[in-house]
């Protein structure tokens, strides 16, 4: 009966209830959409930057983090390799020698980055063969695969001859002459414009780095738990300070993610602030309208705790119902935008690309976002439900019945 009473009470003023539900629903839709879009966009950027080339974790010298110079190396011997192969947390890995230089084709040149990789290991990590837009992957020394942006800048094509001049290990001069065998489109726009891949042996010879590598990029079983995985790996590795998670290697991006998360909280908080006012207004009106009735109910023997429970139920019903309606609209929209991301064009797209980001609007289907929206609305409703409870506790039934 109490449940029935609470439910019917909600509908005694249909228009007000519908307005309140509409407001909760609108805020839930807006907050969910904004949060999932922000999260989705950020995921794309992290995936492009981190998943596409940088990796979610890496082993490199501590000095390399501050100054990514070819002179900072880490061992890549049997012991390291057996460690990498034995750890279940590590799904794949790729050793890299990374040098800088002027990359030239004919009269065209660009300062770029030459990355020496083991093609098979690199492919198992970044699936870079799938990014090929022309040609093939590396098979042997003397070959180079260029980023599409770099290739366009240099007007390179398959079989073009590339000259690379740069600084090798410990002051050696690096001079490489290579034939373009492939052109790949890297998801990270900045890297796409400057990376040239060669075999690890080619890089070792060319940059005179005969021992060790600059970086061993790690692919983790669960990239979403990169921090925890790295923490665990640090405990087991001989030189724990040399294992880094992506957020330590790419502090600006990590900061951006953190700022984005904070912005999500602020925007959601603002929206929920609006809901709070709406809910509180409804509660105040309900209290004023039903003061006499509350007095009568207490007079005929209804315990204040039971009456409080009914008002609590009413507010909770309203919050749950409003949130559920919000999700009924939000989830299909979020799902649609997740499956059919919007590609920005024009000036906006160019501006976004300048920051190295892909101009895509894609939502994230992160369950946590939906869960937090629900928890927030319920939390707010729970908080404001305390007000009628306090009012009822201090209510004098005799005075209340007089209105």
Q: Which stretch binds another protein (CB under 8 A): 81-89, 108-116, 163-171, 394-402?
A: 394-402
Kindly state the smallest distance separating residue 11's Cβ from another protein, in Å.
8
CA distance 273 to 75: 55
Q: Which is nearer to another protein, 14 or 130 (CB)?
A: 14
User: Residue 199 forms beta bridges with which residues?
Assistant: 117
Residue closer to another protein by CB (options 225, 306) is 306
User: Is 12 an interacting residue with respect to another protein (CB under 8 A)?
Assistant: yes
Distance, CA of 289 to CA of 282 (rounded, Å)? 10
Tell me the CA distances in angstroms from 289 to 144, 292, 293, 400, one per residue in order: 78, 8, 8, 11
In angstroms, what CA-CA distances link 261 with 230, 246, 258, 264?
Answer: 22, 17, 5, 5
Contact 172, 150 (CB under 8 A): no
Shortest Å distance, C-beta 24 to another protein: 22
Residue among 139 and 399 whose Cβ is closer to another protein: 399
User: Would you count residue 127 as binding another protein (CB under 8 A)?
Assistant: no
Q: Could you tell me the smallest distance in angstroms from the CB atom of residue 295 to another protein? A: 9
Binding of residue 401 to another protein (CB under 8 A): yes
Among 15, 85, 159, 300, binds another protein (CB under 8 A): 300
Residues 240-279, one symbol each (x = binds another protein by CB under 8 A, - = not), give: ----------------------------------------
- Is 398 a residue that touches another protein (CB under 8 A)? yes
* Contact residues for 362 (Cβ-Cβ < 8 A; gap 6+): 37, 40, 41, 43, 44, 337, 338, 341, 342
Q: Which of 285, 303, 342, 371 binds another protein (CB under 8 A)?
A: 303
Tokens of 369: 């976002």
Shortest Å, Cβ 371 to another protein: 33
For the beta carbon of residue 31, count every other beta carbon within 10 angstroms. 26
| Exposed e or buried b per residue across 101-128, where buried means at least 16 C-beta atoms within 10 angstroms of its C-beta | bebbbeeebbebbbbbbbbebbbebbeb
Question: What phi, psi does 311 have (nearest 5°)?
Answer: -65, -35
Q: How many CB atoms lie within 10 A of CB 312?
A: 18
304 binds another protein (CB under 8 A): yes
Spatial contact of 94 and 68, defined as CB atoms under 8 Å apart: no
Cβ proximity to another protein, 9 vs 247, nearer residue: 9
Contacts with another protein: how many residues (CB under 8 A)? 22
Q: Does 15 bind another protein (CB under 8 A)?
A: no
Residues lying near another protein in the complex (CB under 8 A) are found at: 1, 4-5, 8-9, 11-12, 292-293, 296-304, 306, 397-398, 401
């Amino acid at each position: 009966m109490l449940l029935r009473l609470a439910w019917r009470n909600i509908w005694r003023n249909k228009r007000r209830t519908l307005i309140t539900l509409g407001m909760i629903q609108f805020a839930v839709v807006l907050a969910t959409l904004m949060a999932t879009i922000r999260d989705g966009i950020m995921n794309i950027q992290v995936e492009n930057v981190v998943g596409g080339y940088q990796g979610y974790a890496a082993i490199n010298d501590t000095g390399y983090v501050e100054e990514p110079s070819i002179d900072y190396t880490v061992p890549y011997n049997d012991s390291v390799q057996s460690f990498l192969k034995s750890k279940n947390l590590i799904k794949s890995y790729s050793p890299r020698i990374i040098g800088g230089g002027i990359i030239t084709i004919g009269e065209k040149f660009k300062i770029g980055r030459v990355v020496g990789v083991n093609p098979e290991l690199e492919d198992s990590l970044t699936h870079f063969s799938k990014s090929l837009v022309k040609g093939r992957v590396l098979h042997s020394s003397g070959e180079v695969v260029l980023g599409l942006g770099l290739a366009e800048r240099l007007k390179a094509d398959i079989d073009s001859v590339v000259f690379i001049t740069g600084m090798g290990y410990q002051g050696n001069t690096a001079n490489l002459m290579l034939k373009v065998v492939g052109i790949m489109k890297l998801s990270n726009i900045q890297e796409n414009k400057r990376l040239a891949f060669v075999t690890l042996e080619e890089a070792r010879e060319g940059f005179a780095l005969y021992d060790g590598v600059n970086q061993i990029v790690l692919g983790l079983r669960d990239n979403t738990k990169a921090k925890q995985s790295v923490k665990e790996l640090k405990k087991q590795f001989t030189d724990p300070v040399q294992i880094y998670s992506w957020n330590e290697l790419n502090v600006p991006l990590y900061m951006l993610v953190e700022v984005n998360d904070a912005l999500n909280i602020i925007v959601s908080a603002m929206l929920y602030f609006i809901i709070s006012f709406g809910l509180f207004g409804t509660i105040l009106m309900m209290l004023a309208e039903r003061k006499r009735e509350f007095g009568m109910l207490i007079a005929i023997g209804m315990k204040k705790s039971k009456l409080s429970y009914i008002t609590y139920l009413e507010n909770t019903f309203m919050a749950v119902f409003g949130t559920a309606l919000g999700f009924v609209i939000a989830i299909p929209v979020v799902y649609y935008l997740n499956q059919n991301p919007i590609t920005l064009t024009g000036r906006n797209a160019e501006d976004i690309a300048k920051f190295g980001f892909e101009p895509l609007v894609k939502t994230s289907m992160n369950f946590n976002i939906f869960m937090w929206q629900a928890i927030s609305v319920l939390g707010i409703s729970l908080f404001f439900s305390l007000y009628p409870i306090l009012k009822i506790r201090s209510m004098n039934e005799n005075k209340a019945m007089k209105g």
